[in-house]
Amino acid sequence: MNTAEHFIRVQSVKSVFRCFKIEHGFHGLDTDFFKTAKPYLLIIIFLAPSFASAQSPTDTLRLLQTLPVKARFAATDNLSNVYLITPDNAIEKYAPDGRRLSGYSNNRLGQAARLDVSNPLKVLVWYADFRTALFLDRSLTDLGELNLITAGFPEVRTVAAAQDGNMWLYDEVNFRLVKITPEGEKRYESQSMNLSEATPDRPTCLREGNDRVLLADSTQGVFVFDLFAQFDRLLAPHHPVTDFQIVDNQFHYLADGKIVAEHLQVRASREVTIPAEMLKEKTALLSGGRLVIWGEAVEVWGY
């Protein structure tokens, strides 16, 4: 956090304390005050960084790393390592200082569509054409693969790595969120979502984070489940969501050339504008708490 952001956040909180005490007749900072004021303080604390960013726009996006390599897909983990799918269908891992650490290649399964590196000890590679999930360890050594059609899930468009080494998928035949082991054994599954008020119609992204599982549907919104696959609620984001990442108690996504961060508990959001020239003839993804952009080179930006 820079100096301006820290100052504005502190002043915002102080202002809320003063105003809330006057309005509600509190004279001290007792337990009742904190219980009553907590929702308002959460909103101000969440929005404060965007106020600070407006004061210092040059600090909003910070280039953290550039790799002079081409990629079809790129992502970062929470340790700042960068993972690529190259034009030749190889998977490569780079250290935060740019050193190439390891690589993996498999052309039996068709083109690798995407990587889930939220668990850097067990990287998930998704081969969409063959409905196959492949697992790699931290050095990109093959840990095994699972064909979801053979496992009984013929219609799956999106999968996600679980923090315990298992995986999540949305079963479009039975309308259920399912957690399975790398061998295909069921651990948890939701109720049939076609019996709910809203049913995922076009699931595009699935993520586990902050003790929740989120499923984005570009036409319905974001479905929130607990870690036992039980449906909790449906979020209505400000923009259609096709891909996202979970950061603390927020979900971040890209929309109209901006990074949009929405809080999961209170109705609060902030936006970071991405200069148009940064995205020209490039692809962008939010991953590992960062913005990753790739094309002729791979760039990692903080925000």
User: Domain coordinates of the chain in residue numbers?
Assistant: 3-59, 62-302
Q: Which stretch of DSSP H or E encloses residue 18?
A: helix 3-24
The distance of Cα 177 from the centroid of its chain, to the nearest Å, equals 17
Has this prediction a pTM greater than 0.85? no
- How confident is the model over 75-122, as pLDDT tens digits? 999 999 999 999 999 999 999 999 999 999 999 999 999 999 999 999
The distance of Cα 68 from the centroid of its chain, to the nearest Å, equals 25
Q: How far apart are CA 38 and CA 149, in angstroms?
A: 48
Please, what CATH class does the domain formed by 62-302 belong to?
mainly beta
Burial zone of 202 (CB within 10 Å; 0-12 exposed, 13-18 middle, 19+ buried): middle
| Segment 251-273 mean pLDDT | 95
Average pLDDT, the chain: 87
Q: Considering only 31-35, 118-122, 245-249, 262-266, which range has the smallest mean pLDDT?
A: 31-35
